[in-house]
Structure 1
Amino acid sequence: MDPSELISRRRLLVAAGGLAAVPLLSACNAGSSGQSSGGKGMVTITVMFGVNDLPKAMIADFEAKNPGIKISLVQFEPARLNAMIASGNPPDIAIGAAVGSANTNARGLATDLTPYLDKSQTLRKDDLQPVNDNFRWGGGKIGQGGYYGIVKDWSQDATLWYNTALFDEAKVPYLSDTEPTPYDELLAIAKKLTEKQAGKTKVFGLGLEWAWSLYGPMTTMVLQQGAQIYSEDLTQVDFTTPAARRAFGWYVEFARAGVGPTSFNPLPDGSDQSTFSAKRMAITQDGYWFGGNFVTDKSMAGSLRMAPAPIMGDKRVSPCYSGQGAWIPEKAKHKDEAWKFMEYFMAGPPAEERAKSGWGIPSLKSLLPKLPQELPYQKQAFAVAQNELKYATILPDSPYVTMDAWNLTLDKHLQRAIKGDQPVDAACAAITTEINKLLKQGKEQIG
């Protein structure tokens, strides 16, 4: 996925928080009466995607292959999506992130796609990458039960990309292709790679995409230590455990070391990519998709490498922080036709082209061989990504609080801790209190 998609994901999570007032909808089976045209006449489906996700040529190709269906593209906009769902007139299919979908699924706003998957010859459950488990919901938990969405492409977002030329200049050994770098060691390496001049940072040693996600990386650190942040029923959180305090404390140390951007010194465009491309950042924590930036950037391709997700503890965990995909609202008027578009978009020509581009790992196992390996850095990244798949897992996701709320809360207390206004223990206690308050409110709203 590209940076705009991750930014869109954050906007979608804000919108998800606004769905709290929407009542729980009654369930109905996929393909039930009244949900499709029944094969009679022309049907127009409303598709709420980003314009870049669905170019005109793709729309024309789908319509040519499905002469009974027309597409009406509506630009994805969280506020508009929220209003359409609240009015009972949602789009027939909408873009959305798998991680964070528990909120929508628990409210009964999404269609269970399992009956469609069971019948499909194009999209098969046994071909789905495990990242799709983030779209599953059942028994009050993610990762089990029905599928309420399908991921289009994804990455294990804790992995690292680095510039070997900057490593060479600093006389720092390259990162391993197969073994994870401990977080404490990574910070020490970042300090060696950071270059300051006249009181300003000329080269950042490490970028964490701070503006995009704090919940994902910190929760990963906790899981790597064999701990959890949520209670079994996802209604309470404990961020005061030794594992959580260690993760939070590492971020405080990172910020105080001045080796990378934070919310105190954010990058102008909110993304590591341009700074990394300008050779002013030695390492960036980004998923496989990041390599798509450099297919035509010949100045970087020769010094670009990917490394496994770093580790804090003894357990290798390498999750996806977003997993952009699509879902069909429960009150969609043309579910059968929307599913035909889902099959086309997720397993047809668009999916093959996405895989060939290298902008993310395909959602289907059968498309993995289509990932690009023409350039040296692409071959190296492909091998790293293939090995990393063994450690893919899903992040805990409670329906009672949004990822955006988590990120805002974590950043607020990180800033206070970094400035010395509160110690790490007090910050983690405050986070626990504030998130538990939000969880209680969310639980009361859903019931």
Structure 2
Amino acid sequence: MKKALLLIVALMLMGSLALAGCSGGGNATGETGGKDGDKPIKLVWWVHENPSFVEANKKLIEDYKKVKPNVTIDLQVFPYDAFVQKIRVTMNTKTAPDIVQMFGTWVREYAKNGLLEPAANGAELQAEVYPAAIGGFEYEGQVYGVPHEFNMENGAALRYPKLFEEAGIDKDPATWAELIEDAKKLTKREGGKISVRGLDITSNDSVVFYFLALIQQQGADFWNQDQTQVNFSTPEAEKAMQELVDLVNVHQVTDLTKLGTPEEPYMVFFKGLSAMTTAGPWTIAEGHNTFNVQDFDYMPVPSYSDGPAVFSAESGWGEVVSKQSANAEAAWEFVQFMMKDENAFAWNLRTSSIPANKKVAEDPKYLESAPIVKAALDVLPHGRWIGPLADRDYFFKVINDTYAQIVYGKVSVKDGLKKTEDDINKMLKSKQ
């Protein structure tokens, strides 16, 4: 699944939530109320149309029926765009489902508007799940859902071992400086233009995530203390942005010819036009299945400093329970069943996703089952939740626009980042 495309509609989603207002729980989809005993209970579960997710969810339902034969779960699958629209207009009505599959970036807005049922065991869930993964499911000290995957776009890179061998590179880069030197050796040119990119960090997601990571890896942060405003007027932020600009203008290991186009860097990579491309582990399946490319691997990207490879991440897909559910307790019991170690293990393998559950990610058997994702698994403890972006699309667009303007010499790093800071803080204030 192409994660970048999954959030295109975030602005429309968040902007409309204010109209929903707050509401108490009604009798939404449950056939019976009360606690889960021997009474028949029906739970409606809405999900988006992702083939591997849907099949894994169906298997979970089968397994749960063996444990709770009195509970029937009606899995309803919708095309992605229709799914987002349907959630947006029904969560404050009696036709809301009991359980909804949500991306973590959306959850806070629904919780803020009183449309979700908080978890009774929030502290337990926080202990079981990586902070970067559960962060988006938290609001004002409570947990409103459970992520089943750790959505990450950095910390590792797609790489062609054969090109490394041809360039005389016989080991992974251990430092950021070595990464750049390797990228220079891997870059190829024809007629004065780049024909094979040595290191490509030019997707809309990569620019933002690596900009933030390079700030954090210097020991700084880009938020104020209560995460209400960003601060890009720092030496660390300026150095981070300059480093990304230098990849194009100084080191010349990539260019911006594909920035903002439908042909993202991972697609360029699988066409053999780049040697290294920073990308999330979800692109591995894309390479194998969509592009039918097998001769690549997934390498770690070294830290920008002597410290760990800290990075920011958005919360991935998970489940929330509607405030309208007449069977919220039973709904949460099923969600918690999904989080049991053995069930989470199976779900992550079936969906080729990175586990949000710490025990699953750290289980040696998981690595044995999916060895290619080792680089991603190794950095999971260093992930930090990206923070309350409010308007995710706007946040990313402003940073990407600034990056392009700096590369093309239209604005200085210092001035560009100050304007970026002002524009994002103005947006954040309007959403408070």
Query: RMSD of aligned C-alpha atoms?
Result: 3.6
Q: Match for residue 418 of structure 1?
A: 407
Q: Match for residue 335 of structure 1?
A: 328
CA contact (8 A) 1:45 1:337 kept: no
Structure 1 runs not aligned, ≥5 long: 119-123, 140-144
Alpha-carbon distance in structure 2 between the residues aligned to 1:193 and 1:440:
44
Give the partner amino acid of 1:17. M
Q: Match for residue 196 of structure 1?
A: 189
CA contact (8 A) 2:345 2:366 kept: no
Paired residue total: 416
Q: Match for residue 142 of structure 1?
A: none
CA separation of 1:388 and 1:356: change in aligned 2, threshold 3 A: same
Determine whether 1:73 maps to 2:76. Answer: yes
Q: Match for residue 95 of structure 1?
A: 101
Q: Match for residue 373 of structure 1?
A: 368
Determine whether 1:259 maps to 2:253. Answer: yes
Identity of aligned residues (%): 19
Give the partner amino acid of 2:366. L
CA contact (8 A) 1:90 1:329 kept: yes
- Alpha-carbon displacement from aligned partner over 1:359-414 (angstroms, at most 9, x marks no partner): 2322223323342536xxx54643x445423423332335xx22211111112222
- Alpha-carbon displacement from aligned partner over 1:40-73 (angstroms, at most 9, x marks no partner): 4452414133342543684376164445323141
Write the mapping of 1:14-93 to structure 2, written as runs, cut at 5 A.
14-22=11-19, 25=22, 36=30, 37-38=32-33, 39=36, 40-55=39-54, 58-59=57-58, 62=61, 64-65=65-66, 66-75=69-78, 76-77=80-81, 78-85=84-91, 89-93=95-99
CA separation of 1:345 and 1:207: change in aligned 2, threshold 3 A: farther
- Given candidates 158, 161, 166, the residue that maps to 1:164 is 161
Alpha-carbon distance in structure 1 between the residues aligned to 2:16 and 2:329:
25
Determine whether 1:440 maps to 2:429. Answer: yes
CA separation of 1:134 and 1:167: change in aligned 2, threshold 3 A: same
Alpha-carbon distance in structure 1 between the residues aligned to 2:278 and 2:56:
34
Give the partner amino acid of 2:386. L
Alpha-carbon distance in structure 2 between the residues aligned to 1:319 and 1:304:
23
Alpha-carbon distance in structure 2 between the residues aligned to 1:214 and 1:431:
14
- Alpha-carbon displacement from aligned partner over 1:56-91 (angstroms, at most 9, x marks no partner): 684376164445323141414323322223556433
Determine whether 1:153 maps to 2:149. Answer: yes
- Alpha-carbon displacement from aligned partner over 1:2-32 (angstroms, at most 9, x marks no partner): 32x4421x1353344323523552677xxx9
Alpha-carbon distance in structure 2 between the residues aligned to 1:214 and 1:331:
39
CA separation of 1:35 and 1:274: change in aligned 2, threshold 3 A: closer
Alpha-carbon distance in structure 2 between the residues aligned to 1:231 and 1:56:
42
Q: Match for residue 394 of structure 2?
A: 405
Alpha-carbon distance in structure 1 between the residues aligned to 2:104 and 2:420:
24
Q: Match for residue 380 of structure 2?
A: 389
Alpha-carbon distance in structure 2 between the residues aligned to 1:412 and 1:25:
36
Per-residue deviation at 1:435? 1.0
Q: Match for residue 135 of structure 2?
A: 134
Give the partner amino acid of 1:373. E
Per-residue deviation at 1:427? 0.7
Q: Match for residue 323 of structure 1?
A: 316
CA contact (8 A) 1:351 1:362 kept: yes
Per-residue deviation at 1:131? 3.4
CA separation of 1:224 and 1:99: change in aligned 2, threshold 3 A: farther
Q: Match for residue 363 of structure 1?
A: 356
Alpha-carbon distance in structure 2 between the residues aligned to 1:405 and 1:252:
21
Of 154-163 and 63-72, more deviation after overlay is shown by 63-72
Q: Match for residue 299 of structure 2?
A: 306
CA contact (8 A) 1:225 1:315 kept: no
CA separation of 1:281 and 1:238: change in aligned 2, threshold 3 A: same
CA contact (8 A) 1:16 1:103 kept: no
3-state SS in 1 of match to 2:311: coil
Alpha-carbon distance in structure 2 between the residues aligned to 1:137 and 1:155:
16
Alpha-carbon distance in structure 1 between the residues aligned to 2:179 and 2:16:
40
- Given candidates 218, 221, 229, the residue that maps to 2:222 is 229
Of 242-251 and 266-275, more deviation after overlay is shown by 266-275
3-state SS in 2 of match to 1:55: helix
Alpha-carbon distance in structure 2 between the residues aligned to 1:251 and 1:323:
26
Alpha-carbon distance in structure 1 between the residues aligned to 2:350 and 2:60:
19
Give the partner amino acid of 1:393. R
3-state SS in 2 of match to 1:229: coil
Give the partner amino acid of 1:48. V
